[in-house]
Structures are given as C-alpha cells and as structure tokens.
Amino acid sequence: MSKAELRSAMRRQRAALPAEATHGWSASIAARVIALDEIRRADTVHCYASSLPGEVGTDGLIAQLLTERRRVVCPRVRAHGQLEHREISAHSQLVGAAFGLREPDLELAPPVDPGICDVIVVPGVAFDVEGGRLGMGGGYYDRFLAQVSAPAVGLAFEMQLVDRLPVSDHDQRVDLIVTELRVIRCR
C-alpha cells in the first residue's frame, strides 16, 4: 500500500472512532507521557495542540505540563512548509487557525528557538514499531525533526500501529511511541 493510500485509510478509520473512546484513550496516553523519564527530566516540551477528529488529544497533556511549571512550546504552520515555535504559558493562548488547527496566539505567545526543547511530542496518522511515522503529507514534522536533536515521542492509538510503513529518505523516525496501552521504545 502506498503512503497516500495508507494515509487515506487511516484517516477514515481515525475519524470513525467514537469521541468518548478517543477522550479516554487520550487521557491514558497523557498519563503515560507524563510518566516518561524523558518528560520527568525535561524543562521544555514541544507539543502539538490537537484539534483534528480522531487525533490523540493533547489538551490534558499540555494542561499537566503547565501545572508542573514546565515550559511548553507549540508549533504554528508557516509558509513554505515550515513550522514556527512559540511558548505558551496558558491553554487560552491557543487559537483556531487554518486547516482546523489550533496554534499559539501571535500576540500572546513569544517565538522561541526549538533547540531549547528537551522533548518533541508529535502527531501522526500511522506509526510502526521501528519508529516510522506517517504524517499528513506536508513534511512539516520531517523537516522540523531533522533540525533538532531532542527525542521525538509519537502519540497514537493502538489502531494506528502498522507492521511496516513505507519510508522515504527524508522521513524522520520517532524515538518512542506512546499509545493508550503501552510505550514503545524504537531506538
């Protein structure tokens, strides 16, 4: 199956998940992420702000990180396939954006160098246990992960795990995958 076919099939399956299930699973995933040694040692965590149907929700995770007084950096989609990184100090600093995304408010969240991040939490449409990650197809996170050295943690529901993903030379792998049932250390 090609990347496009797999992406389409997984997005359909994800969108069909009941909201009650995804909320509960997302809470389980957040608890597992908070318990990771990588997170416990981190001062600054980069985390996407979830908003898409069937995507692992990060509201609880972001709230817990802020409660623990950790610095939280969230991405903004910029022109030319790039991400901009801004630090939030409150959940209310996330606003609606293009493509149904939520991003840091330009007036309230200052830009930061993503190199300060100790851990990068990333979304994905599908993952394999070797750390392969299939995103939405824009390459934003592949370009970003290629520029930073912090460990990348992919968040997924168990149904998003596949035996083997088709990968290209530019595809970046994650170091860990956290699902509602387990933590997978990929490297």
Q: What is the pLDDT of residues 85-105, one digit of tens each?
A: 999 999 999 998 877 778 999
Domain count, the chain: 1
What's the pLDDT at 80? 77
Residue recorded with tokens 């910029």: 78
CATH code of residue 32: 3.40.50.10420
What's the pLDDT at 54? 85
CA nearest neighbour of 138 among 179, 86, 101: 101
Mean pLDDT for 125-149 is 91
What's the pLDDT at 136? 81
- Domain with 50, as residue range(s), is 3-185
Q: What is the pLDDT of residues 140-156, one digit of tens each?
A: 899 999 999 999 999 99
For the chain, counts of helices (H) and of strands (E): 5, 12
* Integer Cα distance of 79 and 50 in angstroms: 20
Percent of the chain clearing pLDDT 70 (strictly above): 99
* Integer Cα distance of 12 and 64 in angstroms: 30
Q: What is the pLDDT of residues 44-84, one digit of tens each?
A: 999 999 877 789 999 999 999 999 999 999 999 887 778 99
Q: What is the pLDDT of residues 36-49, one digit of tens each?
A: 999 999 999 999 99
What's the pLDDT at 41? 97
* Integer Cα distance of 123 and 47 in angstroms: 9
Residue 31 has pLDDT above 90, yes or no: yes
